[in-house]
Structure 1
């Protein structure tokens, strides 16, 4: 009984507990979505715990000590069970735990729902984390920086490639001046794989600034973007949010995390899980928000989500980015919309490249102007064109899922899908039914969009300087594609002067007009003549000497094509090569000075030299002739070298370049002269420099290891065989290449036809050909070949066929002899035969297979009784080796190419050059023989305003290469000043005037190139002359700081119509002088500007005075008819007529008289006509500027009828040398 009563009590307690739990659960569940649930749950839980504790205490007090405590009520007996059997008892602890778990789950569900709506805890967490993320820029390289991995955004802007760029820049003497330092938390998150948190840039690209930080070039990608949320058309925003992220701009919860839309995310997870479990192939809807999509296409590898970890990385990174400005994400969410519209990737199009953003997408894919699009979408979209514009924009939002497909071959799919979206949008009330109908009635045509326009006129011309910097930048970074360079987040500080660059470019472009060219004095003899100015390309380079480098200030041309004439062309620049020859000549004098200056007279007498080594002979004789007290320094020796004399006679033939050549002078007056080197430099006399080059070549021939004289004198010298073998290989290769080009790609029949057309067929010739080309041919085939190809109907007897078959067999006759018999070059026969058996053979294979044959062909040379022939070949090879030495010296002076033509004609321009390379050589001369780098870029600022920010600057050089001795550079510099003062560049002598009125000295060298292909017949008769191009160049220095080059160039057959000389670029420099003076001498330019303004004011005052005088009673004044004065440089040999000042005349005015060309000094004085003197009308002097009339010139006088001036008399035009 006691046991049963105890069980009853336990059951009643358990029942009470269950009742309390049920009551608590009902209250909790009923208020789970209200605020009361939060308060009721702890109270109920506390009451339940107290009730349980009291009940257990009472039970313990009343229970017998021998009985165990039963917490579960006895089980009720089942129906039919025998009375008195005790029921089973359940534990009273388990229901309490279940109830507690249910309460906790309810609370968690409530919190989850609430957090998904408000993001309060996320806001607190991510904001706190974001506050620890920072970076700062400090001087020097950073050891606390992390660069991103490869991804579309980070690669395009250059962030991912920065380590590689910096390594390459270091190799070009650039150093890191400052760099970003990341906070420890930012480094930690980066090492975890999260994307860097900072305010990312939407529109970026390469920017180039000039030396004064003025913009020179700017590329911005995407090109068409919205500046903010309010600037974005509302229909775009509404449509985008409906398709991709409908709850993004809900303002109910300002702390909401835009990286996750929980309902869509949950559905996406469920669909994905179902797909994994069931294997269903159905596509599931994505759970990405706009924020995570931006992270994906910007920073994930290849812009794709490849795994769950990628998705989590995107979500966390997007969350941090959203909360970096605080817990309130309202503005961040609006910016996400704008960023997505501006940057969504939309595939790529040929001629434009990759397309990002709706603005660029509408232009590239549909040809829709950005402004027109915005006008259409901001108004009532109730016209067909506006509806089509909306449909096109909507289609791009849809196409971003598979842009390459939808915007290419899948345009029909895009059309159908866009129409579906239009109907859904209308059904949801986002757009009107009218807009839906107007849009669906029109078809999309993305693949045939016309937005990619050709370059604007003169776009290449106006961007030549920036293109030069971009090309140089590409070389520095190791990326040859300007497309990639333009998209970098990079600001470049260049050394160019934008003001001068634009002014010079505009001036050169203007000279393509006939009137402008005439006004600039570019017509007449030695100038453009009757040629069309529009076909002439002008290029100009100006460089400033600096302490650590030479700074490029101007580089431009008027050639409206991508090719940069200054740096990209290979031109025959004529006699400018004489300056290179002169430097080499003077460098040899320096070598002779080092070799012989310290020798005593006794030692000098013991020096043994070859008679042909005239330079060394002269050096020895120079020191032998000096008195003991004389200066044995280098400078006097260089002056003596300038006074060496050479004949200018063209009567001698020169064996050079493997053949006999003759040369002529530009002026026939020089043919009978013997001139010093200095005189020949000033007058650019060809034959003097040809003979100088011969001396230079022979000097280096005898400086080679071993004695060339002994090699040529001794027929048994073992080195002769080596030289002859090299000659055979070298010349054999030249012929082999010629024949390979002739027969490569031909069928055997075509090759045979071409071969037979090369000679007159005879039996013996045909026999030699067949046995070489078809060595395995049978006797029958041999006979048929001979008889079939003979012009005569008479067949060759069979017995003779058999004899020839044996006689001309390869084993019986050498290849060289078979070539002689056939009257063809032996290697031509060999090439035809080899290609017949190896039709796909390339040049390397042919060259490698012909090593033995090339030697065999020249085997006759190795016979000692042919010594004269051997000497000629050996001398030719030694000459080639000498030119290798000369080339090395030229290369050190900035020569741009890898070889020289081994001929004396190289001194006349046969080896070609580039204007920029000539300017670099002039820089070495100006810098006293030191080769300083030509600096185009001073600094590079990568990723400004990002955690990857790096500023790179050009390092200061510790030392420079001394290419030539300072004395040599100074002597050459002084000599080329004579070219301007008394030589072929006189007209620029007084073009540059300093602030104090003194003339800024100019030096330089002129050159004219006339490249043609001439074909000669027997007896030296000219059969054909094809014009290739014509050029004229002036390489110069101005004062002690500036130097450069000016070139005029005509390409192609049109060059036949031009006969200009180097007087043309010299005159051009004179024309450009006022444009360049603000950079060369700012003070002088300011004074000139002030003088011009004063002259203009004086002119205005004169007009006022004249008007007052005209209005005065009793005075009638008729001024002389005077045209506006225009300062125009004179043409070749042309007298200049100065305008008469605008004075009222009292007596008959004198006739206009020609005046001498005088140097211009800009002053506000009135020009007075001068009486010409003999010789004053020199063509090389610039014309004096017309002066403004004095303000007091107008005085009332008696009216007098003016007399018309007499016609202008022209002075004879002397011929201008080049």
Structure 2
């Protein structure tokens, strides 16, 4: 019997339907199983993950990719590595190692997914010393679970109940932890319903793995689009199978990572908070270890319940941490109570724990009451803080807070044992009993009544290596962030003589290069200015000597004789000054520069600086002399205009401080308030300030200011209005009439017309007025006044050249005081800069870079791994070899027979002999003094006291040690540079393991031999009188053989800062300014 067509079609449809049903059932079963157990995902993704590899190779990588803008990537510095690289490559660093990623990982990056690797939950800045020992470590987060098994079960299960209940399901070892399909489906459904009901609350569908991807790598840690969500899920899925198809270990790590890194807003005084451990400390003031210990306790107690509730609060608050942990704290407590009931109902916590926890309230820490750092926090970390500051500057990071969170390990040059030993030694010096035990009470040291807590000590030690100067120790006892060694500007007295001496010897070397090749006949024809003693001496020496080598000439130059007589007055810095020696016994001596350096005598160096300045002024024969001699010389006007402009700016600066920030009407009131009710003065001022105002406005002003306004009728006011019109008088004459400095009058008018004007505007637009005020100076009848001012400017120009030379030797400041007093410290210095100069001398005049940071290792163990190392240094010659060697001999003299001779037997070598030790001492007793017209002191106030010793030790080490007392408390101290010298001697046991670690070093060099018998000038003696303009240097007589250096006195005699004693001044031709005037040597810096 045959089936009809209809029956056959019906049967076929039934078969297809059965196949579809079975197929759908099978597919659904497979899909359900896949969604639950993920075997296919595990198979595919684990195989794919094996291709996602990276390795570190030497040199820069051409196959590296960096993340964009995720909070984690920014915080750890991964996203900023291209920027860091650009900065470091400009600062003598090179990429020594960098990661190479596989082609599959490059492809994944091209898809827009986050690079998969085993991410760090804890990272931060680590500084290592020269031996690899940890100097500083800032792990972030501070508190974390290092292993999954350390997490209390109640904490882990509570997290899973709230966020990801199926994550640790042991029945499916290959499960993809990135997706919980049921929660995801519910979230999608709820999101669709939200379109109809915008107020509907949509629960999150993210797993812990996806949340980690979001808050670590998505921009701002947010999911803004469906594409963001897919990127997070895909990245989490790939990352889950990096270690194979079995994800059970990975899933446990996800729980651990989440608890360690979940964002919990930013706590006041703490900063960003990540992780439960830091959250407990930052928000509740709870100890992480104590909380965990309580939560491991199986028996519920009130303490356990309190600890659990605070952990629960953080797990709830992570959804909206900025709200729940700040403004929404009451709601957080209510939510915690709701969750306690749910958790107990689900069997996560016992009912007893629930009941106890419901009785507790969440208590937040009082952030205003956080304890301040205790003890010597800054003292102990001074070197590491200095390195962190330098590191932040190198990387362009504005806050140490951000620097400390970088995934970065830095190799530094510090030697930790010595650093600690020096720091502990300085701490001991607060104790009077310990100071007495160390023998630090005595002449030139401490007195029994001194407040030892006032003294700040600083010590820096470098080692010269093939990699340049390596900072080994940087310590001080100032318990503040400020770094005395690198940040202070200190008048360190006679240490400035070292810079002066080097400048002098450099000039001698220049003269040697200029003249040594010439024949005697050629030398005889050279004309030099009679004021240029150095050129005259150089030519005379070269004509007489048989040995024209540079070394011989330099040693002969050290043999030139100078008087130490303090009676002569010196016109410098625009005024007449007198200087003193520390030891009055030196006042009657004439000595060579060997002895003056060895015993640190002031007056020879004042006269030496005068010779240097005059040489720089007159080194071009005739140029300066012609300007001074010829009243019609075209350069005179240029110099006088320059003087008028400079002097005028000083007055203008004083007046600007008076009127700065005032409104126009306030400027006018300030200008005329001190004027008497004099109609002529008021009219002169008003008509200058308001030249366009009509007679009615003028009359109203005059009547408001005049004491008897009714006595002035309209005719009188009209006459005053006409007589004092703007075209009637010059600025100078109007100022005379008003009894107001003309520049003050001009400045007030300018500020009233231009209320938004700044200082630069005044300087730029007021030059003509400044020169106009000094027209009296341009008159031929005032040639003597012109000469004195021209010479002052020539002196400033000479000091600009000296400053340029000092800067090439590492002088740290952008200006110096244009005065001979700079030779004995008035231009200040910085301990670190002095140490650098000693390093140049120790290295035969070649400056190598000084460094404390040698290697930066970013993102180790990641596909972003990049290591920067310093390039081999390129030395720069800044001093001729012969100059460095002669200076080095002079510095050894200072230790063996001079002001630092208490160190002469120090640093003995084990096999006998001693390390070569040389240096320069300096003492600054800095005071603010006010003088009467007759030169007597009206007021003397101590500003600070500084004593320093810059030294080299053997052929590798050099540094500086400083004692400093700021403020008026310095008045009770009388220590000199003998104190730092003695401190260095006491530090010998702490330093020896380091300085002798490299093996034997050369023994101390012998004293330099007497200078060869070569022509020298007559001693530079004091002038019989001190004229207002410096007298010319006499032409040198026939040279004599230089005398050998005399032995020093038995006890070290430190130097003292010169104290200017101005003579009675003549009445000034222009009003005297009320603030320091540079032309009188009162602190002007160009």
Task: Identify whether the pair has TM-score above 0.5, normalized to the shorter chain.
Answer: yes
Q: How does 1:625-704 map to 2 (within 5 A)?
A: 625-626=544-545, 630-703=546-619
CA contact (8 A) 1:526 1:1059 kept: yes
SS of residue matched to 2:63: coil
1:532 Cα deviation (Å)? Answer: 0.8
Question: Which residue number in structure 2 is paired with residue 461 of structure 1?
Answer: 379
The one-character-per-residue Cα deviations of 1:952-1006 (angstroms, maximum 9, x if unpaired) are: 211113x421101000000001111111111111111112111112122211111
Q: Which is worse superposed, 797-806 or 140-149?
A: 797-806
CA contact (8 A) 1:1078 1:1085 kept: no
- Residue 477 (str. 1) matches residue 477 (str. 2): no
Q: How does 1:731-746 map to 2 (within 5 A)?
A: 731-746=647-662
SS of residue matched to 1:745: coil
Question: Which residue number in structure 1 is paired with residue 238 of structure 2?
Answer: 320
Which of 320, 330, 340 pairs up with 1:422?
340
Question: Which residue number in structure 1 is paired with residue 292 of structure 2?
Answer: 374
Please say which structure displays the higher CA radius of gyration.
1
- Residue 903 (str. 1) matches residue 819 (str. 2): yes
Question: Which residue number in structure 2 is paired with residue 581 of structure 1?
Answer: 500
Q: Which runs of 5+ in 1 are unaligned?
A: 18-91, 1087-1174, 1181-1213
1:155 Cα deviation (Å)? Answer: 1.2
SS of residue matched to 1:1043: strand
Give the alignment's TM-score, normalised by structure 2.
0.88
CA contact (8 A) 1:542 1:1043 kept: yes
Question: Which residue number in structure 1 is paired with residue 746 of structure 2?
Answer: 830
1:1046 Cα deviation (Å)? Answer: 0.5
Question: Which residue number in structure 2 is paired with residue 972 of structure 1?
Answer: 887
- Residue 10 (str. 1) matches residue 16 (str. 2): no
- Residue 137 (str. 1) matches residue 137 (str. 2): no
The one-character-per-residue Cα deviations of 1:418-438 (angstroms, maximum 9, x if unpaired) are: 233223223323234443343
SS of residue matched to 2:4: helix
- Residue 1034 (str. 1) matches residue 949 (str. 2): yes
CA contact (8 A) 2:264 2:322 kept: yes
CA contact (8 A) 2:268 2:367 kept: no
Task: Assess, with a 3 A threshold, how the Cα gap between structure 1 residues 602 and 504 changes in structure 2: closer, same or farther.
Answer: same
Question: Which residue number in structure 2 is paired with residue 1103 of structure 1?
Answer: none
1:789 Cα deviation (Å)? Answer: 6.9
Task: Assess, with a 3 A threshold, how the Cα gap between structure 1 residues 788 and 1059 changes in structure 2: closer, same or farther.
Answer: farther
Which of 555, 561, 564 pairs up with 2:483?
564
The one-character-per-residue Cα deviations of 1:1143-1193 (angstroms, maximum 9, x if unpaired) are: xxxxxxxxxxxxxxxxxxxxxxxxxxxxxxxx999445xxxxxxxxxxxxx
Question: Which residue number in structure 2 is paired with residue 1061 of structure 1?
Answer: 976
Q: Which is worse superposed, 121-130 or 320-329?
A: 320-329
Question: Which residue number in structure 1 is paired with residue 165 of structure 2?
Answer: 246
1:863 Cα deviation (Å)? Answer: 2.8
Q: Which is worse superposed, 211-220 or 432-441?
A: 432-441
Q: Compare relative contact order (CA 8 Å, sep 6+) and give the higher one, 1 or 2.
A: 2
Task: Assess, with a 3 A threshold, how the Cα gap between structure 1 residues 451 and 102 changes in structure 2: closer, same or farther.
Answer: farther
1:825 Cα deviation (Å)? Answer: 2.4
Which of 847, 868, 875 pairs up with 1:960?
875
Task: Assess, with a 3 A threshold, how the Cα gap between structure 1 residues 518 and 1017 changes in structure 2: closer, same or farther.
Answer: same
- Rounded to whole Å, the distance in 1 between the matches of 2:841 and 2:708 is 71
Task: Assess, with a 3 A threshold, how the Cα gap between structure 1 residues 801 and 1074 changes in structure 2: closer, same or farther.
Answer: farther
SS of residue matched to 1:499: helix
1:194 Cα deviation (Å)? Answer: 1.6
Question: Which residue number in structure 1 is paired with residue 809 of structure 2?
Answer: 893
Q: How does 1:101-120 map to 2 (within 5 A)?
A: 101-120=20-39
The one-character-per-residue Cα deviations of 1:180-239 (angstroms, maximum 9, x if unpaired) are: 221221221122222122111111111111111111111111001111111112221121
Q: How does 1:483-494 map to 2 (within 5 A)?
A: 483-494=401-412
The one-character-per-residue Cα deviations of 1:1074-1114 (angstroms, maximum 9, x if unpaired) are: 1101111149999xxxxxxxxxxxxxxxxxxxxxxxxxxxx
Task: Assess, with a 3 A threshold, how the Cα gap between structure 1 residues 306 and 787 changes in structure 2: closer, same or farther.
Answer: closer
Q: How does 1:377-416 map to 2 (within 5 A)?
A: 377-380=295-298, 382-416=300-334
The one-character-per-residue Cα deviations of 1:803-856 (angstroms, maximum 9, x if unpaired) are: 665554432211122333444422122223333444443323333342332232
1:737 Cα deviation (Å)? Answer: 1.7
- Rounded to whole Å, the distance in 2 between the matches of 1:790 and 1:1049 is 57
CA contact (8 A) 1:200 1:946 kept: yes
Q: Which is worse superposed, 307-316 or 712-721?
A: 712-721
SS of residue matched to 1:887: helix
- Rounded to whole Å, the distance in 2 between the matches of 1:831 and 1:642 is 52
Task: Assess, with a 3 A threshold, how the Cα gap between structure 1 residues 954 and 528 changes in structure 2: closer, same or farther.
Answer: same
CA contact (8 A) 1:474 1:482 kept: yes
Q: How does 1:943-958 map to 2 (within 5 A)?
A: 943-957=859-873
- Residue 1078 (str. 1) matches residue 993 (str. 2): yes
Question: Which residue number in structure 2 is paired with residue 1095 of structure 1?
Answer: none
1:948 Cα deviation (Å)? Answer: 1.5
CA contact (8 A) 1:521 1:1067 kept: no
Task: Assess, with a 3 A threshold, how the Cα gap between structure 1 residues 206 and 973 changes in structure 2: closer, same or farther.
Answer: same
Question: Which residue number in structure 1 is paired with residue 841 of structure 2?
Answer: 925
- Residue 358 (str. 1) matches residue 276 (str. 2): yes
Which of 148, 158, 161 pairs up with 1:229?
148
CA contact (8 A) 1:368 1:451 kept: no
1:594 Cα deviation (Å)? Answer: 0.6
- Rounded to whole Å, the distance in 2 between the matches of 1:596 and 1:804 is 71
- Rounded to whole Å, the distance in 2 between the matches of 1:431 and 1:153 is 33
- Residue 183 (str. 1) matches residue 121 (str. 2): no
SS of residue matched to 2:493: coil
SS of residue matched to 1:604: helix
- Rounded to whole Å, the distance in 1 between the matches of 2:882 and 2:944 is 37
SS of residue matched to 1:408: helix
- Residue 502 (str. 1) matches residue 420 (str. 2): yes
- Residue 707 (str. 1) matches residue 623 (str. 2): yes
- Rounded to whole Å, the distance in 2 between the matches of 1:309 and 1:233 is 36
CA contact (8 A) 1:408 1:447 kept: no
CA contact (8 A) 1:364 1:451 kept: no
1:693 Cα deviation (Å)? Answer: 1.2
- Rounded to whole Å, the distance in 2 between the matches of 1:285 and 1:634 is 87
Question: Which residue number in structure 1 is paired with residue 775 of structure 2?
Answer: 859
- Rounded to whole Å, the distance in 1 between the matches of 2:708 and 2:810 is 63
1:794 Cα deviation (Å)? Answer: 12
Q: How does 1:531-570 map to 2 (within 5 A)?
A: 531-570=450-489
Q: Which runs of 5+ in 2 are unaligned?
A: 1002-1046, 1058-1086
Task: Assess, with a 3 A threshold, how the Cα gap between structure 1 residues 272 and 159 changes in structure 2: closer, same or farther.
Answer: same
CA contact (8 A) 1:540 1:556 kept: yes
Task: Assess, with a 3 A threshold, how the Cα gap between structure 1 residues 206 and 752 changes in structure 2: closer, same or farther.
Answer: same
- Rounded to whole Å, the distance in 1 between the matches of 2:968 and 2:961 is 23
- Residue 152 (str. 1) matches residue 71 (str. 2): yes
SS of residue matched to 2:150: coil
Task: Assess, with a 3 A threshold, how the Cα gap between structure 1 residues 770 and 260 changes in structure 2: closer, same or farther.
Answer: same
The one-character-per-residue Cα deviations of 1:731-777 (angstroms, maximum 9, x if unpaired) are: 22222122111222346676567556767886655554444445556
Question: Which residue number in structure 2 is paired with residue 258 of structure 1?
Answer: 177
- Rounded to whole Å, the distance in 2 between the matches of 1:563 and 1:773 is 48
Task: Assess, with a 3 A threshold, how the Cα gap between structure 1 residues 352 and 703 changes in structure 2: closer, same or farther.
Answer: farther
- Residue 812 (str. 1) matches residue 807 (str. 2): no
